[in-house]
Amino acid sequence: MQEPNDYFVDLAVQSEINEDAVLIPLVFKDVMRDLIANSRKYSPLGASIIVGLYETSDALKFVVQDTGRGIPEEEIQRVFEYGSRGSNVEGVRTMGGGFGLTKAFYVTKQFGGRFWIKSAVDQGTRIRIELPRPA
């Protein structure tokens, strides 16, 4: 049962090519952890966080969505810069260095992937990543 100070994380993992495991690049595990941690850091206690990982023969797809603070629209491009955060989270104490989104974006590009971010202040953020599967 969810307590008022708990976060509810709904995690779905599916593969259409292997029912026992989803194969992902080791560094991408760090990316997923960082993005889920961001969702927790910037969401109120008791919030819901939705996480999905889906593997097809062509791509690895990841999504994390929260109902947190969101990112001001005019700052979305800036938050990919090392050490940058949205202006609406300056008072949030974190243990991070502002590198999570930067790393996620560059790792995605390193693997030839695509990165989407949709965010609205006081409504939350949704990040989608798609990495192509090697032939």
Dump pLDDT digits (tens) for 6-37.
Answer: 777 888 888 888 878 888 889 999 999 999 98
Q: What SS3 class is residue 67?
A: coil
Name the phi and psi angles at 126, rounded to 5.
-125, 125
Count of all residues that appear for the chain in the document: 135
Residue 114 clears pLDDT 90, i.e. is over it: yes
Distance CA 104, CA 129 (A): 9
pLDDT by residue (tens digit) across 42-88? Answer: 888 888 899 999 999 999 999 999 998 888 888 878 777 766 666 55
Phi/psi for 84 (5° steps) reads -90, 145
CA–CA separation, 93 vs 49, rounded Å? 20
23: number of Cβ within 10 Å: 10
What value does the mean pLDDT take over residues 95-115?
86
> Which residue has 């927790």 as its token pair?
40
What pLDDT is attached to residue 98?
A: 63
CA 89 to chain centre: 17
pTM score, two decimals? 0.85
Q: Which CATH number fits domain 8-132: 3.20.20.70, 3.30.565.10, 3.40.30.10, 3.40.50.1000?
A: 3.30.565.10
pLDDT in the model for residue 127? 96
pLDDT, position 90: 64
Check residue 96 and give its pLDDT: 58
Spatial contact of 127 and 63, defined as CB atoms under 8 Å apart? yes
Q: Which residues contact 99 (CB under 8 A, 6 or more apart)?
A: 34, 82, 83
